[in-house]
Amino acid sequence: MRVVRQTELGGPDVLKVVEVERPEPGPTEIEVRVHAAGVNPVDWKTREHGVFLGTPPFVLGWDVAGTVERVGFGVSWLKPGDEVLGMPLFPKQAGGYGEYVVAPSRHFVRKPADLGVFEAAALPLAGLTAWQALVDDARVQPGQKVLVHAAAGGVGHLAVQIAKAHGAYVYGTARTLKHDFLRGIGVDEPIDYTTTDFTQVAKDVDVVFDLVGGDNALRSVDVLKPGGTVFAVPGGVDDALAAKAAELGVRATGILVEPDQRGLLALLDLIADGKLTVHVDQVLPLAEAGKAHEIGASNQLTGKLVLEVLGH
């Protein structure tokens, strides 16, 4: 089978298409014929710095959508031919940038027939990151205020819709040219971070979901009401953020997404109810994984990037 493998850390050029043996599903595992693989910021961070996977060689990719090819001993709820999507094994190697993936069956869910394969591949990691923060952790309630930074991006545009589905009033930061998109997915007040200080617009916020990093989370503490929460997704909580949060009586936390069948099913319910739409910005062939990383790292995307792995 073809995979995009790297044997050294570095830029997009280290990603090479090679042939390797197909994996065998063990007990409770399934082999999935991958039709599409989502591309996420953790992919290029791992490519460059070895985040989570350490020293190469390894195969990137955790978001997959495809068809069950084989099932291991003990798997009874899925059968060959079933269409599935999932974020298997994260943060261990899953090898989504490849034609076949083997992982525990319950790291997947069945793909609804009316959900496109590219949208299915774009959903798991980004959607679960937002769901686990906003719903499982913060338990966003009707009437609360949520500020989403990088609201038009892969995780951000799903976080906005999840917050709206739970009755929140949503602020979202993005350049003005993306404000129509933000309004279309439910943002109540778009903020152009290049021309406007978000701390002068967003007030008494219950939850800040920061997907930018740097000092953005530190500045976001100023807009929180007492007892509010800031999720520092890219960089986690440093000493300065922890100290400022403690001083102002708010909570600062990082979050790392986990495989989550229950969460995926909840996201699919939102899609079925018309409350969540996955926006795919571009689809590139597997062999152009390096180009996908270059595009993604430019931070100019609206929604998600997806690799087409096998025809479907």
pLDDT tens figures, 127-161:
999 999 999 999 999 999 999 999 999 999 999 99
Q: Compute how many other C-beta atoms are within 10 angstroms of the C-beta atom of residue 288.
A: 17
Mean pLDDT, residues 107-126: 98
CA dist 282 and 299 (Å) reads: 13
What does DSSP assign to residue 171? Answer: E
For range 154-169, the mean pLDDT: 98
Dist. CA 229–CA 294, nearest whole Å? 32
pLDDT of amino acid 312: 45
Over residues 28-71, the pLDDT tens digits come to 999 999 999 999 999 999 999 999 999 999 999 999 999 999 99
pLDDT digits (tens, 9 = 90+) for 193-243: 999 999 999 999 999 999 999 999 999 999 999 999 999 999 899 999 999
Nearest Cα to Cα of residue 304 among 109, 113, 124:
124
Q: How far is CA 73 from the centre of its chain?
A: 31
Give the per-residue pLDDT at 305: 98
Beta bridge partners of 110: 84
CA neighbor of 95 nearest in space, from 147, 32, 150, 51: 32
Residue 69 near residue 2 (C-beta atoms within 8 A): no
pLDDT of residue 263: 98
pTM, full prediction: 0.97
232-281 tens-digit pLDDT: 999 899 999 999 999 999 999 999 999 999 999 999 999 999 999 999 99
Spatial distance between the Cα atoms of 188 and 207, rounded to a whole number of angstroms = 15
Which residues, in sequence order, are CB contacts of 22 under 8 Å at separation 6+?
1, 31, 100
Domains and CATH numbers, the chain: 2-123+278-308 (3.90.180.10), 126-253 (3.40.50.720)
Instruction: Quote the percentage of the chain above a pLDDT of 70.
Output: 99
By the 8 A CB rule, do 187 and 170 touch? Answer: yes
The model's confidence at residue 311, banded by pLDDT at 50, 70 and 90, is low
Strands 304-308 and 108-110: unpaired
Tokens 């740097």 locate to 214
**Of 299 and 23, which is predicted with more confidence?**
23
Helix axes 41-49, 289-297, angle to 10 degrees: 110
**For residue 234, what are its two tokens?**
């890219």
Please give the mean pLDDT across all residues of the chain.
97
What dihedral do alpha carbons 104, 123, 234, 229 form, nearest 10°? -100
